[in-house]
Amino acid sequence: MDNPELIPIYIMGKRYLVPPSLTIQKAMEYGGYTLVRGCGCRGGFCGACATVYRLGSDYKLRIGLACQTVVEPEMYLAQIPSFPARRPQYRLEELKPTLGQLLALYPELMRCLSCGTCTKACPQNLDVRDYMAAAMRGDIGAVADKSFDCIMCGLCTARCPAEEVQYNIAILCRRLYGRYLAPRSQHLIERVAEVEAGQYDQALAAMKQMPVEELRRQYNARDIEPE
């Protein structure tokens, strides 16, 4: 007889009874699964646990992250540990930060229908449609800024009717922006020059000789934000 405190869910087609407070990931482990793939940070940041599910007889196909989505009665689910999206090979130092470069690598960019399905699919609540529109304008800086919190889960691509690869296009823009368009950090350039000139060699050598407890004391006493 079923335990009334448990709810039925279906994992890969098989019925399980699980506590209703569990996330999909924990429910799978409760059901006896050992998660080797599709299980990363468990905090909603890495995008490794993309999940597709339906509820009972509801026609709607739902998506989410298994580590964040709580189970519901009659949930039918399957994980997508790796989404088979197209990703061209390139060498960043050989590219240019232009619209033409984006289109050369991702010609499907211009197939965007502006339907907003990608935005609805995003578990990070990013406006994917907005930064894809920026990509079609060649505004690489805007794409880099607006897609900064993308966790590369692939759910936008999984739902896109134009079969675009939004998250791969976005990371290309972030890479192009970082290499070619972002303002150079002058203080970092100066610090690297100091390191290369050996300015900190003596201090580093002294630290290597310190006992662990002294290192901890100095670390905890450091001035993090000097005035």
pLDDT tens digits for range 108-152: 999 999 999 999 989 888 999 999 999 999 999 999 999 999 988
Q: Are residues 102 and 144 in the same domain?
A: yes
Is 52 among the domain residues? yes
Distant-in-sequence, close-in-space partners of 29: CB < 8 Å, separation ≥ 6 = 35
Is 41 among the domain residues? yes
* Of 116, 196, 130, residue with least CA distance to 159: 116
> Of residues 6 and 83, which shows the higher confidence score?
6
Is 192 among the domain residues? no
Is 202 among the domain residues? no
Last-in-domain residue among 27, 54, 79:
79
57 lies in which domain range?
7-79
Length of the chain: 227
Is 171 among the domain residues? yes
The angle subtended at Cα 189 by Cα 186 and Cα 192, nearest 5°, is: 150
Global pTM? 0.71
Is 227 among the domain residues? no
Q: Are residues 136 and 109 in the same domain?
A: yes
| pLDDT of amino acid 2 | 59
Name the pLDDT band for 15 (thresholds 50, 70, 90): very high
